[in-house]
Amino acid sequence: FGTAQNPQTVTFGAGYANSRTVDLDGAYLAAFDELGCFLWLANMPASQPSFGGANLTVTPQGDIYFPIVLNGEISFYDASDALRHQIVLNPQPPAEPFTRGAAIVSYDRLGNFRWVKRIGNAATEPAAKGYSVASLELTGGLIRMAGSVNGATNGPTDDYEVVFGAGEANETRVTIGMRYQFAYVAAFDPATGALAQDSVRIDAPVVGATNYQLRHNGRGAGQSATDGSYALGQLMVGAAGSYLLNRGQADELGFAVTSNFVASFAKRDATGALAWHRLAGATAGSMSVFSSAALADGAVLFSGNGPEQADFQSAAGVVNLATGANGYLVRYDALGSIAWLRSISSRGFSNLFVDEARGALFAFGSDTGDITFGLGDADAYTATVGGAYLARLDLATGAVLWVTSVDSSTASFRDLDILGNELVASVRFDNSATFSPGTPQETAISANFNTWSGMARYDAETGQLLGVVELIRHPGTQLNDGLNMGGVYEP
C-alpha cells in the first residue's frame, strides 16, 4: 500500500513479463507473490491522500484493512479497474459527500473492493480539523482503530459532533469543543464495517485551548492479544493541564500533568474499560510513544523516545531510564507493574512486531552510528548502523539477539510480517542502499529512479539476509511517495 502524488508513472513488478506500468495520482493497493511477481493493482485516485502512519492488517482469510485520512476527494477502483465507490464534493448517488475525517478501507485477497467506513463525517465539521490514525488491529473478532483529531487553534469555542457509524444501528455522536485535540478508539465488524455497539472511547483534555493537547500514538495496539484487550499510548503535547481517559464513561479517569510531552500508557480490556494507567516522563517531559503491543498473557509493550533519567510509573514506585538514554522499550505485566525497562542510546524503536510462538520481539528504527540497546544492563548490545535497522529481541527479557541494517540516509522499514521461518520487511529508499553491510550476504542496490519500494527477507532465527525483491518503481514527487505499509497473506 502506498502513495503516488502529483501524477507520475509507476511500475509494479519490474523485471517480470507481467509487470504493469501505470500513471497514478493518489494511492494504491498492490499484490505480489512471494517472488515479487505482480498480481493485481487497485487504484485510488485522491486529492492530498494521507494515511496516518498506521498499519495494514491482513486476516488469515486474506481480507485486507487499512486506514486513510480524508483531506480531499477519493475514488476506489478494484483489480479489474472498475470504479466501485467515490467520496467527492458534489456526489451523485451512490457516491458519498466529502467531509474531513478518517476511514477504514477493506479489499479482499483478489483486489475486490469490499467497503469503506468513515468517522468524523458531521455536517458541522470545522475546516481546520485534522485527523490521524495511530493503530489498526484485528483483536477480539473486531477491527479496532485508534487515532487523534487536531483542534482548531484559533477557531470558535463552540461544540460540534463527531459521528461514528453514521446512519447505522450503533451510530454514536460525540459532542466536543472545536478547539479540542482529542483521541478516539472505535471498533468495527470485519465483515461489513459496521460500528460495533458501545465501542467508541474518547480521551480528551478537560479544557480545549490549542491544537496541541492529547493524541494517541503507538502502532500495533492489540497485536497478539487473544482476549481482545489492547494497549494505547497517549501523548500530552501541550502545556500543563488536566486530562480525561474514557471521557463520559463509568470508569472515566482524570489526571493532571505539569510538563510538556508527557507519555501515558493505558491497558484496556475488550470492552474498552481501563485496566490500568501509568505516566512516563511526568517530571522530565520530552517523551514520545511510537509503538505498542498487547500480549496473550496480559502483558503490554511500549516503545518511543525519552530523555535520560525519565521517570516511568509502575504499580509500586518509579523506574528511571539510564544515563545517556534517548529511547526506551518497556514491558508491563498484566497488573501494570514494570517487568523490565530497557534504555537505548539512540531513538526508540518505531515499530514492534510480536511473535509469541518464537518468544521473539522484532523491532525496527533508524539512526546512524553506534547504538547501545540496554544501557547499564549486563547484557547490553551495541551495533553500528548506517540508516534503517532491524533487531530481534527476547520477548521475555528485552535483550537484543541480533541487529541488521540497510545503509542509506533515506531508507526506512515500513512493516514486518512472518512467512514461515522468514521475516518479511517492507522497505523504501531513494536512489541507493546497501542491505546487511559487512556480511557475506551484503546486497547493494543503485537505483536509476528516485524511489525504490520492495521487501527484504531475513531468516527469523539468525537475521541472515535471504534476498531483496523490488516491487515498485516510483519517480517520486513527494517525500512520502512509495510504499507506506505492507502485509503478508499465507494461504
CATH number at residue 180: 2.130.10
Residue 381 lies in a domain: yes
> Cα–Cα distance between 161 and 174 in angstroms, integer?
5
Neighbours of 219 (CB within 10 A): 28
pLDDT at position 153: 64
Q: Which domain holds residue 234?
A: 2-483
Contact 130, 141 (CB under 8 A): no
Contact 230, 273 (CB under 8 A): no
Backbone torsions φ then ψ of 452, nearest 5 degrees: -110, 130
> Cα–Cα distance between 74 and 89 in angstroms, integer?
10
Low-confidence residues of the chain: pLDDT under 50: none
Residue 400 lies in a domain: yes
Helical ranges in 139-189 per DSSP H: none
Residue 488 lies in a domain: no
> Cα–Cα distance between 58 and 491 in angstroms, integer?
11
The domain tally of the chain equals: 1
Residue 387 lies in a domain: yes
| Residues 6 or more apart whose Cβ sits within 8 Å of residue 127 | 100, 152
Backbone torsions φ then ψ of 357, nearest 5 degrees: -60, -35
Q: Which residues pair with 393 in a beta bridge?
A: 361, 400
pTM, 2 dp: 0.94
Contact 344, 303 (CB under 8 A): no
Residue 490 lies in a domain: no
3-state secondary structure of 357: helix
3-state secondary structure of 182: strand
Tell me how many helices (H) and strands (E) the chain has: 0, 37
Instruction: Kindly report the length of the chain.
Output: 491
> Cα–Cα distance between 216 and 145 in angstroms, integer?
11
pLDDT at position 315: 93
pLDDT at position 212: 64
pLDDT at position 191: 96
Chain CA centroid to CA 466, Å: 26
Quick: pLDDT tens for 314-365. 998 999 999 999 999 999 999 999 999 999 999 999 999 999 999 999 999 9
Residue 210 lies in a domain: yes
pLDDT at position 479: 55
Residue 491 lies in a domain: no
Terminal-to-terminal C-alpha distance of the chain: 20
Q: What is the DSSP string of 43-63?
A: EEEBSS-B-TT---EE-TT--
The DSSP secondary-structure symbol of 219 reads B
Neighbours of 416 (CB within 10 A): 24
